[in-house]
Amino acid sequence: MSKQETVSRYNLIIRKLRRHPADFSEIAHFLEVQSEIEGYNFKISKRTFQRDVNDIRSIYKIDIQYNFSDKLYFIDNDDQPEANERILEAFDTFNALNISDRLSDHIHFEKRKPQGTENLYGLLHAIKNRVQIRFSYLKYEDNELTQRLVEPYALKEFKNRWYVLVKDLKDNKVKSFALDRLSSLEITKSTLKLLKISM
């Protein structure tokens, strides 16, 4: 079985369980029908399905659980519902873009500047490991580029934009910086004391 078939099967399992919980026979039947529609072989054994569930958890961070009383599989969103919903939205977008041969013919994107999400991973790493960061920041008001050394504490989304909450070591004040105005991120080895910030 090709990697393309395997990834497509993962996508189908997630799609099926997003609609409603299902038992293994319903999932297997759905995959059979999709095999005929798409011209692939998505048919699986229960053992392969269990491996798929583990792979989906590992790759996509989507947790498929089994309800023993109802004997149904379901996607568990209880732990972090907002984060899980965002993961599933990103998953939908990725799959929609992935299947289009010529995106310009079918999808019309809004013209906008990048949101600075390329720095999310590095910022999360610094926050979790409690280390200072340096970056260049372009102010909104005067388009002045400044250099910042800060202690990062949290990431926050507000009105579809991402911000990092920090203590600016220049004046020891807590501030927020928009990720789309942040560049040249450098993670230092200097540790910090954790400050509790209410969201």
Mean pLDDT, rounded, for 40-49: 92
Task: Check pLDDT > 70 for residue 195.
Answer: no
Residues 80 and 136 in one domain: no
Which H or E element spans position 132? Answer: strand 131-138
Please indicate, yes or no, if residue 109 is contained in any of the structural domains.
no
Task: Check pLDDT > 50 for residue 31.
Answer: yes
Least Cα distance to 63 among 34, 87, 45 occurs for 87
Identify how many contiguous H helices and E strands the chain contains and give both numbers.
6, 7
Task: Check pLDDT > 70 for residue 66.
Answer: yes
Q: Residue 125 sits in a domain of what CATH number? A: 2.30.30
Please indicate, yes or no, if residue 37 is contained in any of the structural domains.
yes
Residues 94 and 19 in one domain: yes
CA triplet 87, 38, 11: central angle to 5 degrees? 15
Sorting pLDDT into bands at 50, 70 and 90, what band is 199? very low
Task: Check pLDDT > 80 for residue 63.
Answer: yes
DSSP bridge pairs for 136: 147, 183
Residues 94 and 136 in one domain: no
The per-residue pLDDT for range 166-182, each reduced to its tens digit, is 999 999 999 999 999 99
Q: What is the dihedral of CA 149, 152, 156, 160, to 10 degrees?
A: 30
Task: Give the structural domain span for 9.
Answer: 3-100
Task: Check pLDDT > 80 for residue 147.
Answer: yes
Question: What integer pLDDT is reported at residue 198 of this predicted model?
Answer: 46
Task: Check pLDDT > 90 for residue 108.
Answer: no
Task: Check pLDDT > 80 for residue 139.
Answer: yes
Residues 77 and 159 in one domain: no
Mean pLDDT, rounded, for 48-74: 92
Name the domain boundary from 71, 100, 129: 100
Residues 43 and 128 in one domain: no
Q: Determine if the pTM surpasses 0.75.
A: no
Task: Check pLDDT > 90 for residue 29.
Answer: yes
Question: What integer pLDDT is reported at residue 115 of this predicted model?
Answer: 72
Mean pLDDT, rounded, for 56-75: 91
Please indicate, yes or no, if residue 112 is contained in any of the structural domains.
no
Q: Do residues 149 and 170 make contact, with C-beta atoms less than 8 angstroms apart?
A: yes
Residues 79 and 16 in one domain: yes
Please indicate, yes or no, if residue 137 is contained in any of the structural domains.
yes
